């Protein structure tokens, strides 16, 4: 648009209404392009081991816990439950040095930085998921399974030594299978970003001289 040409809102919105399909097409192309770029990235495989963790409320002394006043009932809150079950993650974090030694001894390209960046430890209701991502599916499986087994052994040792509350129940319920397909993350965000960029491009495109001339005919 020439700098000395006056902007007329009515003409602008009329042009948008006439060439709406250009805006929509650009948005669709932007989304498809973003999806293709996302899929063309180097594949990443994710292996996952799963722990079960719960609380046996029958083993909790609600009437006389250490922090409560005598004779005053104690409520085991959601916060207390979350803190108790977080011991699963704590044990998994504590055995990281063993995982790094295992990787070094077996010639696996895993260091502390990569381990932190490619790992997710997440609780979903009664389950803790330990996930590790790598371009090599076999590597991801080896790291996760060794890590999970070390964490489980650490939990059992603490349980035997009386270092865990007696009311915490846990088990290693699933070791990682060999990942069969790559995992893709933030696909929706990539596509949405592409759609928004395409939408902006479409809005700018309908103001090009070609479409302005088309409108005047």
What is the pTM for the complete model shown? 0.68
**Domain extent at residue 91:** 45-174
Per-residue pLDDT, 28: 86
Q: Which of 62-66, 121-125, 165-169, 205-209 has the lowest mean pLDDT?
A: 62-66
Res 3: pLDDT = 44
Q: Say if residue 87 is in the same domain as residue 15.
A: no
Residue 181 located in a structural domain? no
The pLDDT tens digits of the residues spanning 104-120 come to: 999 999 999 989 999 99
The answer for 125, left when phi > 0, alpha when psi is -120 to 50, beta otherwise, is left
Give the model confidence (pLDDT) of 187-210 as tens digits: 677 678 878 888 888 888 877 776
- Report which DSSP code applies to 126: T
At 186, is the pLDDT very low, low, confident or very high (cuts 50, 70, 90)? low
Give the mean pLDDT of 22-30.
Answer: 84
> Torsion angle, CA of 143/144/146/152, rounded to 10 degrees?
150
Higher pLDDT: 43 or 143? It is 143
Q: Are residues 142 and 161 in the same domain?
A: yes
- Do 165 and 1 meet the contact criterion of CB atoms below 8 Å apart? no
Do 49 and 122 belong together in one domain?
yes
Q: Could you tell me if 97 and 154 lie in one domain?
A: yes
- Residues 61 and 126 placed together within one structural domain of the fold: yes
Measured on CA atoms in the order 139, 142, 143, 144, is the torsion positive or negative? positive
pLDDT: is 46 or 194 the higher one? Answer: 46
Contact 47, 143 (CB under 8 A): yes
Where is pLDDT greater, at 18 or 6? 18
- Confidence tier at 1 by pLDDT (50, 70, 90): very low
Closest C-alpha among 50, 126, 144 to residue 84? 126
- 82 in a structural domain: yes
- CATH number, domain containing residue 79: 3.30.70.1130
Higher model confidence: residue 63 or residue 88? 88
* Structure confidence at residue 180 as a pLDDT band (50, 70, 90): confident
**Do 97 and 203 have their domain in common?**
no
Provide the domain count of the chain: 2
For 116-137, the pLDDT digits (tens) are 999 999 999 899 999 999 999 9
In a domain, 54, yes or no: yes
Judge whether 179 lies within some domain.
no
In this structure, is residue 182 part of a structural domain?
no
């Amino acid at each position: 648009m020439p700098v000395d040409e006056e902007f007329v809102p009515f003409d602008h919105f009329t042009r948008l209404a006439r060439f709406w399909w250009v805006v929509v097409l650009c948005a669709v192309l932007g989304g498809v392009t973003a999806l293709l770029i996302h899929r063309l990235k180097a594949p990443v495989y994710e292996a996952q081991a799963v722990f079960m963790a719960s609380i046996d409320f029958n083993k909790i002394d609600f009437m006389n816990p250490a922090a409560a006043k005598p004779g005053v009932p104690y409520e085991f809150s959601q916060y207390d439950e979350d803190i108790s079950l977080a011991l699963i993650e704590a044990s998994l974090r504590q055995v990281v040095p063993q995982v790094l030694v295992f990787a070094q001894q077996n010639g696996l390209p895993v260091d502390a930085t990569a381990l932190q960046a490619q790992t997710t430890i997440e609780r979903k209701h009664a389950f803790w998921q330990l996930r590790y991502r790598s371009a090599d599916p076999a590597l991801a499986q080896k790291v996760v399974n060794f890590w999970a087994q070390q964490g489980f052994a650490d939990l059992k040792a603490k349980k035997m030594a009386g270092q865990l509350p007696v009311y915490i129940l846990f088990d290693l319920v699933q070791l990682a299978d060999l990942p069969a397909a790559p995992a893709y993350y933030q696909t929706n965000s990539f596509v949405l970003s592409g759609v928004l960029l395409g939408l902006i491009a479409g809005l700018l495109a309908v103001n090009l001289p070609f479409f302005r001339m088309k409108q005047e005919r």
